[in-house]
């Protein structure tokens, strides 16, 4: 009488998957380089998804724009973090309503994200009453 059942190969595969996948993942985390303590950059710590596309500097800070295939994202960052002050960021897709975030912040405001597949966007940002705005961009 055969000792293997017809389901034995599937059980072995599941067992290997349960054991090998976590083991290989842990090994990859140990071997592959990553940001060490204090080794990360400001771009790596961004709150927006996508690649950085444009940065608009103004007297009290900067407006940073990011883009993925489907979305656009914006953040306003103060030049000198410190006391809470009025900050705002706005991002509007062409033909849509603007996404706005404003208030009193110490370092940055945002992110605001809008669906921008095949659409231009208009962005604005301000820190302590001084800021910038763009025309239709990222078309």
Residues recorded for the chain = 139
Task: Please state the pTM of the whole predicted model.
Answer: 0.67
Positive/negative CA dihedral, 110, 108, 60, 138? negative
Strand partners, 58: 61
In the chain, domain spans? 51-133
Q: Write out pLDDT tens, residues 2-55.
A: 555 666 666 767 766 676 667 667 666 666 655 444 443 444 457 999 999 999
Cα 132 → chain centroid? 22
CATH of 51-133, one of 3.20.20, 3.30.70, 1.10.3470, 2.60.40: 2.60.40
Q: Write out pLDDT tens, residues 93-125.
A: 999 999 999 999 999 999 999 999 999 999 999
């Amino acid at each position: 009488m055969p000792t293997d059942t017809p389901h034995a190969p599937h059980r072995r595969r599941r067992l290997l998957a349960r054991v090998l996948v976590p083991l290989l993942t842990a090994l990859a985390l140990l071997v592959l380089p990553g940001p060490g303590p204090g080794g990360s950059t400001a771009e790596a710590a961004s709150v927006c998804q996508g690649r950085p596309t444009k940065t608009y500097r103004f007297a009290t800070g900067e407006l940073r724009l990011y883009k993925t295939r489907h979305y656009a994202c914006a953040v306003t960052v103060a030049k000198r973090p410190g006391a809470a002050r009025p900050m705002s960021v706005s991002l509007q897709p062409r033909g849509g309503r603007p996404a706005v975030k404003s208030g009193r912040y110490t370092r940055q405001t945002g992110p605001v994200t809008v669906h921008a597949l095949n659409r231009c966007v208009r962005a604005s940002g301000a820190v302590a009453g001084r800021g910038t705005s763009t025309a239709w961009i990222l078309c």
